[in-house]
Structure 1
Amino acid sequence: MQDMFTQSTAVLVQPSPQTFERFERRGGLNQALMYVVVAALVSAVIAGFFGIFHSGVNPLTQFFSRLIGIPLQFFAFTGLVYFIGRSLFRGTGTYPEVAYSFALFYVPLSILGTLIGIIPIIGGLAGFVIAVAMIYFGYLASQSSLNLRDPVSAVVTLVLSGLAYLVLGLILAGIF
């Protein structure tokens, strides 16, 4: 866990495909899952705690929905990035490289977003800034982990993955 935190710091401080390249093979799916579960647990605890103070919000529902939902959403999105990048643009990376690379920026940014999100006035603005940062780091991680050297390929991979993720979410919302 300490190694991943150090790697996350390097990725956030020196953002480039080359920085991601240094770390993409130092971990795999298990490490990515453990790291994302940390983000989910932090978010779940904060949501559950602050849910106590809001009427109409069940703290246990908040806790479990984040604890389960965040890892599922992360792996669904990174799976789409991998599938689209490999299928349409002949990316040569592996799914564990994609998941691990994305986890390196996703976890610290999502924890930061959760912590700042509880502050009433600046929470919304900070959420927007963090969303933009996630897109930027996703672009760099896609270039590195899938070996997509053409910037357009990385952008289109992310846009199509985002659209597919949205459609998948709408379909699942209709089912449940």
Structure 2
Amino acid sequence: MTQPNPQATIQDMFPQSVAVLSQPSVAAFERFERRGGTREAAIYVLLAALVSGLIAGFFAVFHSDVTVLGQFFSRLVQTILGFGIFTGLVYLVGRGIFKGTGTYPEVAYTFALFFVPISIVSTVIGVIPVLGWLVSWLLSLVTVYFGFLAVQSSMNLRDTVQAAVTLVLSGIGYLVVLAVLGSLFLLR
């Protein structure tokens, strides 16, 4: 077993992302899940959030109904907060309902390895009218597949039904949290 490496850097994580994306399997995720933790995942996700925010901010110039700073900061907050909420739910559901033995740092790091590159590609392609929407939708399906593998690896849930239910319940919980947060902001 690989020991946690609190010194994992973005330069370490890029090849790890390439490995899990090019050879999708539970074993590929298992190879890297303990090479970093929550801090490294947060830094990597922050990178994706910054790229997404910069791209959204740049393209806001071409739209009169949004602002550059508004787009930048909303993408920054949404990406980081969304990642934290979703991975937290994966951990809580996997651990609480199915008695998964993974840790939150393993979940966060494992999910960051595929989330960051897919998020960046989706943002870049998403600015292309129609084609961007279609490709982004397809990338969403790919993200679900990688999420399924990451749940199996990071929570040590080899039963496919348990892993799938963990992912689905986490997704539903995520949508509920977003709806609650959205309604709180609308009430102000």
| TM-score under structure 1 length normalisation | 0.99
Q: Tell me which amino acid in the other structure corresponds to 2:100.
A: G
Residue pairs, 1:99-118, within 5 angstroms: 99-118=108-127
Matched, 1:24 2:24: no
Distance 2:59 2:91 in 1: 35
| TM-score under structure 2 length normalisation | 0.92
| Partner in structure 2 of residue 132 of structure 1 | 141
Matched, 1:153 2:162: yes
| Partner in structure 2 of residue 41 of structure 1 | 50
- Return structure 1 stretches of 4+ with deviation > 3 angstroms: none
SS in 2 for 1:89: coil
Greater helix content: 1
Find 1:52's aligned residue among 58, 61, 66: 61
Q: Tell me which amino acid in the other structure corresponds to 1:14.
A: Q
Deviates more, 1:8-17 or 1:119-128: 119-128
Deviation at 1:59, TM superposition (A): 1.1
Deviation at 1:36, TM superposition (A): 0.1
Matched, 1:12 2:21: yes
Aligned residues: percent identity? Answer: 61
Note the residue ranges of structure 2 that are not aligned, 5 or more in a row: 1-9
Deviation at 1:121, TM superposition (A): 2.9
Q: Tell me which amino acid in the other structure corresponds to 1:74.
A: F
SS in 2 for 1:109: helix
Note the residue ranges of structure 1 that are not aligned, 5 or more in a row: none
Deviation at 1:11, TM superposition (A): 0.2
Write out per-residue CA displacement over residues 30-82 of structure 1, whole angstroms, 9 at most, x where no aligned residue: 10000000000000000000001111111110001111221111010000000
Q: Tell me which amino acid in the other structure corresponds to 2:167.
A: L
Distance 1:77 1:159 in 2: 11
Distance 1:174 1:64 in 2: 19
Write out per-residue CA displacement over residues 56-111 of structure 1, whole angstroms, 9 at most, x where no aligned residue: 11111000111122111101000000000000101000000000000000000000
SS in 2 for 1:119: coil
SS in 2 for 1:120: coil
Distance 1:125 1:25 in 2: 34
Matched, 1:143 2:146: no
Q: Tell me which amino acid in the other structure corresponds to 2:17.
A: S
Alpha-carbon RMSD across the aligned residues, in angstroms, is: 0.6
Distance 1:174 1:56 in 2: 21
